[in-house]
């Protein structure tokens, strides 16, 4: 009985990690549309069946990694566009789309 319970707890914990990881990966950038990013409007169940909306890139991490102010409305499901991961992703995207100009 103890082993079954432990296996069940590990399974449930890993499902939470998979769900969290899927949420993090649901911020999508396409270099063909460099002025926007895409994020889910509903809870994603499967990466191949996710309903996304195009949002201007300046809205990604608009308020920093500390989350939304109380009266602000999120652009994406579960405020993923204001997460620490979203802010790091915005920096990565900006490096990709900004041309390097040597001095």
Please give the model's pTM, rounded to 2 decimal places: 0.69
Taking the C-alpha atoms of residue 52 and residue 27, their distance in angstroms, rounded to an integer, is 9
Chunk the chain into consecutive blocks of 10 residues (it has 103) and report each block's average pLDDT, rounded to whole numbers.
Answer: 41 42 75 92 80 93 86 89 91 84 72
pLDDT in tens, 87-100: 999 999 998 887 77
55 has which bridge partners?
37
Cα distance between the two ends of the chain? 67
> Which residues are within 8 A (CB) of 36 and not within 5 positions of it... i.e. 6 or more apart?
54, 55, 56, 57
* Tokens encoding 96: 């990709």
Tokens of 17: 């990690």
């Amino acid at each position: 009985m103890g082993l079954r319970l432990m296996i069940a707890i590990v399974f449930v914990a890993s499902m939470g990690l998979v769900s969290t990881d899927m949420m993090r990966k649901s911020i999508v950038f396409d270099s063909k549309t460099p002025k926007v990013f895409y994020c889910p409007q509903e809870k994603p169940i499967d990466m191949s069946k996710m309903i996304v909306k195009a949002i201007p890139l300046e809205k990604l991490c608009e308020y920093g990694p500390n989350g939304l102010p109380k009266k602000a409305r999120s652009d994406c499901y579960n405020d993923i566009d204001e997460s620490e991961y979203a802010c790091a992703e915005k920096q990565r995207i900006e490096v990709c789309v900004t041309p390097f100009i040597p001095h």
